[in-house]
């Protein structure tokens, strides 16, 4: 039975009466036991997590797989391998913050390191598709909170409420509310396992979905190439900033005042540019001191020549079609788009929730680390706050 409670205008709290029974059943299964078992090591890493769970071959292999797949290169992998999702969170925020500061010092305009995720809405330079984003966020919320609930039940902590929170049709949040007094009385090990279960479940989702997306994308690549060749016109420019970051340096745009948002790049040095990948390939293949761009401005085909520096100086692009592609293309594109977004948002939610703020899972887990290890978490929280502020600066300056 579904129960819907309306609050604050168009905010709905949706409760499924069978949710608690469903989580109770899962808590007795192998999947729930696996997530709870590996969560301390995946969440806090083998050093801090060793006091809350067993660092065995299984948990270490999960952490190793995550460290190899996490985006950011070898350094991000090392941070993740040592301190789990907590280490990944600090590496991601720290690397973005350093890049933002260096870009400011070089006189450039950096992109923000953090952004709100609103499906179908352009937020600065960022936009995610509505339907794929909606489904991804809803599933991520359910997996995250469901894992918290399953871990709590496994530790004999009763649940008093569970609901999904929706603004109109857009999922805002989901929550599983354990009995507060029972949670307070639980051991530090139990608390960390319950807190870490949500982010760990999201990280495990990433480990499953991202390889699936990669393999499927590779298998469908020849089909998509043929579709682009037969149906695509070119690549539409979304924005032309004064400067961009290229190879770690802030450089001036080479097409500022030449290309405009909405222009469609048709070819570069005679190489047809049907996709963004084609644009990059054409710039890489260019041999002379200049490159010639043929583009569509409104209904007029224009040509321009710029210096060959390996880049153009635009941000964002999307395929423009000269004729509608077949239905199969749209269905397969939706599937790949959903899998990609689902994987990336899953790991983003896992990493973000590991930050040591009191309102997040990571902050509450660090309180248990303080009790067990005697490590003061306040400096760590201050550093995280500083990095978060730096990542948000480009939204305001």
Q: pLDDT of 154-178, one tens digit each? A: 999 998 888 888 877 777 777 888 8
- Residue 146 within any structural domain of the chain: yes
Q: How many CA atoms lie within 13 A of 15 on its CB side?
A: 13
The yes-or-no verdict on residue 257 having pLDDT over 80 is yes
Q: What's the whole-number average pLDDT of the chain? A: 89
Nearest Cα to Cα of residue 243 among 235, 233, 234, 253 = 253
Nearest Cα to Cα of residue 164 among 152, 173, 156 = 173
- Residue 198 within any structural domain of the chain: yes
**CB of 45 within 8 A of CB of 83?**
yes
Across the range 240-260, mean pLDDT stands at 84
Q: Are 207 and 179 part of one and the same domain?
A: yes
The 10s digit of each residue's pLDDT in 27-44 is 888 999 999 999 999 999
Give the C-alpha separation, 323 to 224, whole Å: 15
Task: Tell me the pTM.
Answer: 0.85
Burial 243-260 (b: 16+ CB within 10 A, else e): bbbeeeebbebbbbebbe
Identify the pLDDT of residue 205.
Answer: 97
The yes-or-no verdict on residue 122 having pLDDT over 90 is no
Q: Are 61 and 173 part of one and the same domain?
A: yes
Identify the pLDDT of residue 252.
Answer: 87
Identify the pLDDT of residue 281.
Answer: 92
* Banded model confidence at residue 248, pLDDT cuts 50, 70, 90: low
- Residue 297 within any structural domain of the chain: yes
Identify the pLDDT of residue 128.
Answer: 83
* Banded model confidence at residue 1, pLDDT cuts 50, 70, 90: low
The 10s digit of each residue's pLDDT in 259-311 is 999 999 999 998 999 999 999 999 988 888 899 999 999 889 999 999 888 88
**CB of 308 within 8 A of CB of 269?**
no
Give the C-alpha separation, 19 to 356, whole Å: 29
Q: What is the DSSP letter of 395?
A: G
- Residue 330 within any structural domain of the chain: no
* Continuous H helices in the chain: 19-27, 30-49, 57-69, 74-105, 130-154, 180-185, 188-231, 276-285, 327-352, 361-373, 378-392
Q: Are 32 and 136 part of one and the same domain?
A: yes
Identify the pLDDT of residue 249.
Answer: 76
The yes-or-no verdict on residue 371 having pLDDT over 90 is no
The CA-atom distances, in angstroms, between 116 and each of 104, 126, 174, 374 are 22, 9, 17, 35
What length does the chain have? Answer: 397
Q: Are 289 and 167 part of one and the same domain?
A: no
Q: How many domains does the chain have?
A: 2
Pick the residue with more confidence: 118 or 320? 320
Q: Are 204 and 74 part of one and the same domain?
A: yes
- Residue 64 within any structural domain of the chain: yes
Q: Are 17 and 134 part of one and the same domain?
A: yes
Which of 302, 325, 348 is the last residue before a domain boundary?
A: 325
Which of 280, 305, 325 is the last residue before a domain boundary?
A: 325
- Residue 226 within any structural domain of the chain: no
Identify the pLDDT of residue 111.
Answer: 82
Give the C-alpha separation, 176 to 195, whole Å: 11
Q: Are 82 and 208 part of one and the same domain?
A: yes
Give the C-alpha separation, 187 to 213, whole Å: 39
Give the C-alpha separation, 229 to 9, whole Å: 49
Neighbouring CB atoms inside 10 A of 236's CB total: 17
Handedness of CA 137, 341, 338, 216 (dihedral sign): negative
Q: Are 267 and 379 part of one and the same domain?
A: no
Neighbouring CB atoms inside 10 A of 270's CB total: 8
Across the range 214-238, mean pLDDT stands at 94
Q: Are 340 and 207 part of one and the same domain?
A: yes
Phi, psi of 133 (to 5 degrees): -65, -45
Phi, psi of 122 (to 5 degrees): -75, 115
* Banded model confidence at residue 124, pLDDT cuts 50, 70, 90: low
* Banded model confidence at residue 23, pLDDT cuts 50, 70, 90: confident
Identify the pLDDT of residue 64.
Answer: 92
**Structure-block tokens of residue 203:** 């990280």
Q: Are 120 and 59 part of one and the same domain?
A: yes
Burial 296-309 (b: 16+ CB within 10 A, else e): beeeeeeeeebeeb
Identify the pLDDT of residue 18.
Answer: 79
Which of 325, 346, 369 is the last residue before a domain boundary?
A: 325
- Residue 377 within any structural domain of the chain: yes
Q: Are 289 and 343 part of one and the same domain?
A: no
Across the range 56-69, mean pLDDT stands at 92
Identify the pLDDT of residue 153.
Answer: 92
- The CATH number that applies at residue 316 is 2.30.42.10
Q: Name the 3-class secondary structure at 101.
A: helix
Q: Are 217 and 166 part of one and the same domain?
A: yes
**CB of 360 within 8 A of CB of 233?**
no
Pick the residue with more confidence: 199 or 18? 199
* Banded model confidence at residue 90, pLDDT cuts 50, 70, 90: very high
Q: Find the domain containing 373 and state its range.
A: 2-221+335-395
The 10s digit of each residue's pLDDT in 314-354 is 887 889 999 999 999 999 999 999 999 999 999 999 999 99
The 10s digit of each residue's pLDDT in 202-215 is 999 999 999 999 99
Identify the pLDDT of residue 140.
Answer: 94
- Residue 345 within any structural domain of the chain: yes
The yes-or-no verdict on residue 110 having pLDDT over 70 is yes
* Banded model confidence at residue 71, pLDDT cuts 50, 70, 90: low
Identify the pLDDT of residue 218.
Answer: 95
């Amino acid at each position: 039975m579904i129960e819907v409670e309306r609050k604050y205008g168009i905010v709905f709290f949706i409760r499924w009466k069978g949710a608690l029974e469903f989580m109770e059943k899962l808590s007795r299964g192998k999947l729930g036991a696996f997530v709870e078992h590996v969560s301390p090591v995946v969440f806090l890493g083998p050093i801090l997590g060793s006091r809350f769970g067993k660092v065995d071959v299984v948990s270490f292999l999960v952490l190793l797989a995550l460290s190899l797949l996490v985006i950011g290169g070898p350094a991000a992998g090392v941070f993740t391998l040592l301190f789990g999702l907590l280490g990944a969170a600090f590496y991601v925020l720290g690397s973005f913050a350093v890049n933002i500061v260096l870009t400011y010092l070089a006189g450039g305009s950096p992109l923000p390191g953090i952004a709100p995720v609103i499906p179908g809405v352009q937020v600065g330079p960022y936009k995610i598709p509505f339907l794929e984003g909606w489904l991804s966020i809803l599933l991520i919320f359910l997996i995250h909170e469901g894992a918290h609930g399953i871990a709590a039940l496994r530790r004999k902590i009763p649940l008093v409420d569970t609901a999904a929170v929706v603004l109109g049709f857009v999922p805002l949040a989901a929550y599983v509310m354990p009995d507060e007094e029972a949670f307070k009385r639980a051991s530090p090990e139990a608390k960390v396992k319950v807190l870490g279960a949500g982010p760990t479940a999201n990280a495990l989702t990433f480990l499953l979905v991202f390889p699936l997306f990669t393999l499927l994308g590779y298998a469908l690549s020849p089909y998509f190439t043929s579709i682009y060749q037969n149906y695509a016109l070119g690549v539409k420019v979304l924005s032309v900033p004064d400067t961009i970051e290229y190879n770690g340096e802030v450089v001036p745009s080479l097409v500022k005042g030449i290309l405009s948002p909405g222009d469609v790049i048709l070819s570069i040095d005679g190489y047809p540019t049907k996709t963004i990948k084609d644009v990059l390939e054409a710039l890489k293949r260019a041999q002379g001191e200049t490159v010639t761009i043929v583009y569509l401005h409104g209904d007029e085909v224009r040509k321009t020549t710029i210096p060959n520096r390996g880049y153009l100086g635009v941000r964002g692009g999307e395929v423009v079609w000269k004729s509608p592609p077949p239905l199969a293309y749209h269905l397969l594109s939706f599937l790949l788009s959903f899998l990609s977004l689902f994987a990336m948002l899953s790991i983003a939610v896992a990493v973000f929730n590991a930050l040591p703020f009191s309102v997040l899972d990571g902050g509450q887990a660090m309180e248990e680390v303080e009790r067990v290890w005697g490590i003061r978490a306040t400096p760590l929280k201050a550093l995280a706050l500083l990095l978060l502020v730096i990542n948000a600066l480009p939204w305001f300056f």
